[in-house]
A and B are shown apart, each in its own frame.
Chain A
């Protein structure tokens, strides 16, 4: 039951273990996230109330502008699209027992990669668009694979490497946008606009990137539960020793999981460039990968649940400016609500981590195998 690999931490996002009977494991799957969100809104409401604004009115403003008009809905969909994908990226990692903090960096390199593929070629849309998306995904996947390979072959914690790779990615894309890929003859650090053949179309008011993200989420809902590869991910995440004993290549699975995770985050970045911003500029894309962590934890590593979780975050982000316009409440209140939500959904995970640690110690003491 216990994992002997000291660098591993079971985050409790693999398929339920029937032998787990701690109090926290009996909470039904949906209850924790819903209560967390409600509590976060209640605490946020108190903060709003302390500033002299009616919290019900504030929340009504926040949601009604985002959901009450077609422009608002388009904005919610646009904002949710990369969040669904970064949420999925973190989810796939968690299922395989990997905590990918690097979705932000993977998304950034993919966004700049897709921008380059989007302006540097002159080919028909039928080739150009898929190629630009695929190139972006490949950039994200390659970036994440650095952490995946280090984890699989050198046991370097992916938490550390992905965080470090985020910083490197920021510097790299800044450099690319201000030097080799910079749009000439203008003062801003940014790439030229993408060609029309690489732009993601709209279906009526619905951005096609949003539809793509939903389809990918549904695909992973099926993939992780119903396919052999998905089973390998879950098994490695649940117990790498058992997986190895069962003949699953643990290293291969870890590398593949990070590759897929990076490709998903990369898809978010590519869609952002090709469907929303039309070019790469370093200030765009801020925070998308980090919101992905909140979303994956809120969705309890369930790919389908990442959709509503991302929509919630996207709606809050889309409505923040109207909230300030109508009530004077600073837009950062949205960050506060999301941070409280994250804290509440993460608390049981931390608790589980602590319980597990103690179990390991006790085992060591009784068996006498330790030092």
Chain B
């Protein structure tokens, strides 16, 4: 009986405590709300021109989503692909891009983290119901939900990160990346850095186009920098291609044994497995290097820091931010938008890479961006 009473007492205490805090919280928000509303209410009493003046001086700041439908406010929503916004990968980069765009435009940004893939449409619906101006949906898997939502909400702009659009919808832009260019830049660097003239790559499955583009681009880049180099590329079989770190590690070991001194690992956990294995090899970071993919893997796979030369990066933050800003300026492209690619900072290997190599690689990245260098990679 005592136990029951105790439990009941605990519940009551918790509720009362929570109640007290909440009432004071509410009072506080009410007060601030009242304070911020006050000038607005006074404004109409003054002369009409006074109202226009501040609008010209600076873009109106949108600080919450209470009035997203109004033309002067700018609201950015983001829905993650069953992940968190601090996943050190696509979700995080896209969210950083959305925040950056919010800063530039004076807009307001908010996210929902999806926990069940069946909820994609519902989660997008939370934003459309509130009249959000731009909604960023992250990841390939959300492609169909994005198309459906874009068609149902023609006045809302959608940014589909990593979603290639087969059919152009004016209010949906797929942010995609020329993976072959990122691979080419990484390969070019590897071709200049190799001592053994043997280079490797451990990749996810070649049935997924971006992976094959990375691989073929890498090979083309290596051969452009160093025609004498020998490139060995292995692809995982399609089943479980991105979640087989043991296979990745075993293949990396094999390539090291065959004399490869720089290995490109690309393909989710499979590629990460290769990177981590290479970091354990003797001479890692001095004569043996690895190259990561997609985002700066110095942060996403800290176990690989020792060998990590760079990462063949998709500039996701910039791409997301650019598209959101384009939407604000009424220049939303629709269809597909090719984001920039490049290489992540060298970090620990900063001192190992000679300056002339750095400048040559930078020139190649610039050439790829302006189109003066072509990778020559096509998927047949």
A: which residues have CB within 8 A of B? 31, 35, 38-39, 42-43, 45-46, 49, 52, 54-57, 75, 174-175, 178-179, 187-188, 276-277, 281, 283-284, 286, 317, 320-322, 324-325, 330-332
Interface residues of B in 138-183 (CB under 8 A from A): 140-141
Please report the total number of B residues contacting A with Cβ < 8 Å.
38
**Cβ distance A104 to chain B, nearest Cβ, rounded Å:** 14
The reply to whether B122 and A46 form a contact with Cβ atoms under 8 Å apart is no
**Stretch among B110-118, B257-265, B337-345 lining the A interface:** B110-118
A49 in contact with B18 (CB, 8 Å): yes
Instruction: Please list 20 pairs of residues, one from A and one from B, whose beta carbons are closer than 8 Å in the complex, sorted by A's number.
Output: A35-B8, A38-B11, A42-B18, A45-B14, A46-B14, A49-B17, A54-B26, A55-B22, A56-B22, A57-B26, A187-B207, A187-B208, A276-B118, A281-B117, A284-B118, A317-B115, A321-B112, A324-B112, A325-B110, A331-B113
**B19 adjacent to chain A (CB < 8 Å):** yes
Closest to A175 in B: B239
**Residue B21 CB within 8 A of the other chain:** yes
- CB of A46, distance to nearest CB on chain B (Å): 6
Once A174-B240, A325-B110 are accepted as A-B contacts, the answer to whether A55 and B122 lie under 8 Å apart by CB is: no
Residue of A whose beta carbon sits closest to that of B164 = A187
Is the beta-carbon distance between A286 and B15 smaller than 8 angstroms?
no
Q: Which of B17-67 contact A (CB under 8 A)?
A: 17-19, 21-22, 25-26
Contact across chains for B18 and A46 when beta carbons are under 8 A apart: yes
Question: Which residues of A are found within 8 Å of B118, using beta-carbon distances?
Answer: 276-277, 284
Complex contacts, A43 vs chain B, CB 8 Å: 14
Complex alpha-carbon distance, A217 and B26, angstroms: 43
Q: Which 7 A-B pairs have the closest CB atoms?
A: A54-B22, A42-B14, A325-B126, A55-B18, A283-B117, A321-B123, A42-B11
Min Cβ gap A59→B in Å is 10
Does B228 have its Cβ within 8 Å of any Cβ on chain A? no
* Residue of A57, A174, A331 contacting most chain B CB atoms (<10 Å): A331
Within 8 A of A (CB), among B54-96: 82, 84
Give the shortest distance, in Å, between A79 (CB) and chain B (any CB): 8
Q: Would you call A321 and B18 a contact (CB within 8 A)? A: no
Contacts of B238 in A (CB 8 A): 178-179
Shortest Cβ distance from A326 into B: residue: B126
Is B350 interfacial (CB-CB < 8 Å)?
no
A283 / chain B contacts, CB cutoff of 8 Å: 82, 117, 141
Q: Which residues from chain B contact A317 at a C-beta distance below 8 Å? A: 115-116
Residues of A within 8 A of B19 (CB): 56
Q: Which residue of A lies closest to B84 (CB)?
A: A330
Among B82, B111, B119, B127: residue with most chain A CB under 10 A: B119
Which residues of A are found within 8 Å of B240, using beta-carbon distances? Answer: 174, 178
Q: Which residues of A contact B127 (CB under 8 A)?
A: 325
Could you tell me the distance in whole angstroms from the C-beta of A313 to the nearest C-beta in chain B?
A: 13
CA A319 – CA B9 in complex, angstroms? 28
Q: Which residue of B lies closest to A286 (CB)?
A: B116
Pick the residue among B17, B22, B113, B209 that contacts A324 (CB under 8 A). B113
Q: Tell yes or no: B363 within 8 A of A by CB.
A: no
Closest residue of chain A to B110 (Cβ to Cβ) is A325
- Choose from B11, B115, B126, B208 the contact partner of A39 (Cβ within 8 Å): B11
In whole angstroms, how far apart are the Cα atoms of A57 and B21 in the complex? 12
Question: Measured between alpha carbons, how far is A57 from B240 in the docked complex, in Å?
Answer: 43
In angstroms, Cα B208 to Cα A331, docked, is 32
Q: Which interface residue of A45, A174, A284 has the most chain B CB atoms within 10 A?
A: A45
Contact B7 A39 (CB under 8 A): yes
Cβ of B208: which chain A residues have Cβ within 8 Å of it? 187
Contact of B21 among A31, A49, A286, A321 (CB under 8 A): A49
B299 near A: Cβ within 8 Å? no
Bound: A182/B126 CA distance, A: 32
Complex Cα–Cα for A332 and B85 (A): 13
Contact in complex: A321, B239 (CB < 8 Å): no
Pair B119/A321 contact, Cβ less than 8 Å = yes
Extra A-B contacts (11), CB below 8 Å, given A283-B117, A317-B115, A325-B110: A35-B7, A35-B8, A39-B10, A42-B10, A57-B26, A321-B112, A321-B115, A321-B119, A321-B126, A324-B111, A332-B115
The answer to whether A54 touches B141, judged by C-beta atoms less than 8 angstroms apart, is no
- Which residues of chain A have C-beta atoms less than 8 A from B82's C-beta? 283
- List chain A residues, Cβ under 8 A from B18: 42, 45-46, 49, 54-56
Kindly provide the distance from the CB of B95 to the nearest chain A CB, expressed in whole angstroms.
13
**Shortest distance from the beta carbon of B69 to any chain A beta carbon, whole Å:** 16
With contacts A56-B22, A322-B126 taken as known, whether A45 is within 8 angstroms of B10 at the C-beta atoms is no
Partner of A188, one of B25, B26, B141: B141
Report chain B residues within 8 Å CB of A54. Answer: 18, 21-22, 25-26
Query: How many Å lie between the Cα of A175 and that of B196 in the bound state?
Result: 40
B235 to chain A, nearest CB (A): 15
Chain B stretch 178-229: residues in CB contact (< 8 A) with chain A: 207-209
In the complex the two chains form, what is the Cα distance from A54 to B239 in whole Å?
47
Chain A residues, CB < 8 A from B114:
321
With the chains together, A55 CA to B19 CA distance in Å?
Answer: 8
